[in-house]
Structure 1
Amino acid sequence: MSPSRITHALVVVPARDEETLIGRCLDALDRAVASVRATHPQVVVRTLIVADACTDDTEGIVRSSGTAELVVSDAGRVGAAREHGVRLGLASFGRIDPAEIWIANTDADSAVPDNWLTHQLDLADEGTDVLVGTVRPDPADLTAEQDAAWLATHERGRPNGHVHGANLGLRASAHLGAGGFDAVEEHEDNLLVRRLQDAGAAITASDSAEVVTSGRASGRTPGGYAAYLARTL
């Protein structure tokens, strides 16, 4: 049986105190959504930024963007914030078959490429249930030695399959069937993909739409990507 074609796409971005980087994230998402409207005009796209326990001007910046929609959360846990955005977004689509909805996830300290969402939609229409995309730390945040060390372990065309919430896409039916994101402080992305692997979901690892994310050494969660960079670089 052929896979259900995607008719609706939901972009969900949790954000906590990201006033310095959320503008870059929003601009990149605008370009990615514009690409979908040019190449996949039949797909309805909705973008939700989930401002989670923010104490800075993240909410104000999103409100003034004019494109992304603001959702406010006080959970203080990225897994809970991400799932809150997913559930609200899916509810807004009404009775659409979840197999026809694609959920694209990224982070507020990240910038997606223009082909980020179109690439995911194309894979979904070919039968992919889960897209595990690559990320790279912003070279501007690294020393030359750190950037060289990162590049030495990442060969183009050979995605390593590491799971990053900054570049993760899922068919809504797969997401719901696996129970969604756990309401945890970190690793909600890995936990969900592990359950999907166990359930036999069609998972594709790809570096064709790599996301640039912050290379900061101190992140918003104790064991997230910033901690990984601090350990490895």
Structure 2
Amino acid sequence: MTAPEAPRDPGAIEAIRALAVVIPAKDEEALLPRLLTSLDAARAALARRHPEVECVSVLVLDDCRDRSADLAAGRLEAIVHLDAGNVGAARAAGVRHAASLLGTHWGARAWIAHTDADGRVPPNWLTAQVAAANAGADVVIGTVRPDRLDPRRRRAWLATRSATPNGHVHGANLGVRADLDAAVGGVAAMTEHEDVDLVQRLRGAGARIVASNEAEVVTSGRLHGRVAGGYAGYLREDLMARREGA
């Protein structure tokens, strides 16, 4: 983990008391169950380590036509249905709904943990974000690891790895203090790169940003995702082009 870009006076740090997990999804019935199972473990670890933190999970089904709602029923605090076909709008809707659930707890003491429905979070995912926030971070940029890559792409991906996190932004592993998220206007309604856009605006607003590999999220290694670019596009084209041009 790297230190925050602008260390905060310890006396000014607001300890986290509320946490919202936001999960956008579009037709992810094949992979959603593993995400929910992994999230159960992460939430259990949070409850043991930080019983003072109220946690809610919101699944946003955007233009979803499969059985995701049935698979998630009863496993989260809320399932929001949307017909935007826009991952940024879905994340923003999830944040708004979480804010309504947490009520007076929302603000400087609330934290938003973004992930994706096709991933798998580690058991320490939420506790690591809370620890970083309580140490002064306003934003945590986590690393991801794609699964099921073909051997050639796996070698190319491994070549991009280093001992320290590189700060690349992934919506599958991103945490933000709720009051700062609101201050910059939240997640924009973008079909891709909404996560990068949000972090750029937070950085411009002076947020203390931490890049961390302490709680790496496993994400789908598929080469054709729900949007034209995104991480699937990176794995399909950009990763190999970078490797071949090295």
Query: What's the CA shift for 1:68?
Result: 5.0
Q: Secondary structure at the match of 1:13?
A: strand
The equivalent of 2:5 in structure 1 is none
Q: Of 139, 151, 154, which aligns to 1:147?
A: 154
The answer to whether structure 1 residue 230 and structure 2 residue 236 are counterparts is yes
Q: Secondary structure at the match of 1:166?
A: coil
Q: Of 187, 210, 214, which aligns to 2:193?
A: 187
The equivalent of 1:108 in structure 2 is 117
Unaligned ranges ≥5, structure 1: none
The equivalent of 2:136 in structure 1 is 127
Q: 1-side partners of 2:33 and 2:75: how far apart?
A: 12
Q: 2-side partners of 1:7 and 1:98: how far apart?
A: 10
Q: Of 222, 227, 231, which aligns to 1:221?
A: 227
Q: 2-side partners of 1:12 and 1:39: how far apart?
A: 21
Q: 2-side partners of 1:164 and 1:68: how far apart?
A: 24
Q: Secondary structure at the match of 1:204?
A: strand
Q: Give the partner amino acid of 2:155.
A: A
Aligned 8 A contact 1:26 1:68 in 2: no
Q: 2-side partners of 1:115 and 1:147: how far apart?
A: 25
> Structure 1, residues 105-155: CA drift from partner, whole Å, max 9, x if none?
0000110100000000000001100000011101xx211222122111111
Q: Percent identity?
A: 49
RMSD: 1.1
Aligned 8 A contact 2:21 2:56 in 1: yes
The answer to whether structure 1 residue 159 and structure 2 residue 168 are counterparts is no
Aligned residue pair count: 229
Q: Secondary structure at the match of 1:174?
A: helix
Q: 1-side partners of 2:36 and 2:104: how far apart?
A: 28
Q: 1-side partners of 2:68 and 2:47: how far apart?
A: 27
Q: 2-side partners of 1:165 and 1:14: how far apart?
A: 10
Q: Of 31, 41, 44, which aligns to 2:51?
A: 41
Q: 1-side partners of 2:31 and 2:170: how far apart?
A: 18
Q: 2-side partners of 1:19 and 1:68: how far apart?
A: 18
> Structure 1, residues 179-203: CA drift from partner, whole Å, max 9, x if none?
1000111111111100111111000
The answer to whether structure 1 residue 16 and structure 2 residue 26 are counterparts is yes
Q: 2-side partners of 1:210 and 1:38: how far apart?
A: 20
Query: What's the CA shift for 1:5?
Result: 0.5
The equivalent of 1:86 in structure 2 is 95
Q: 2-side partners of 1:97 and 1:180: how far apart?
A: 14
Q: 2-side partners of 1:27 and 1:19: how far apart?
A: 13
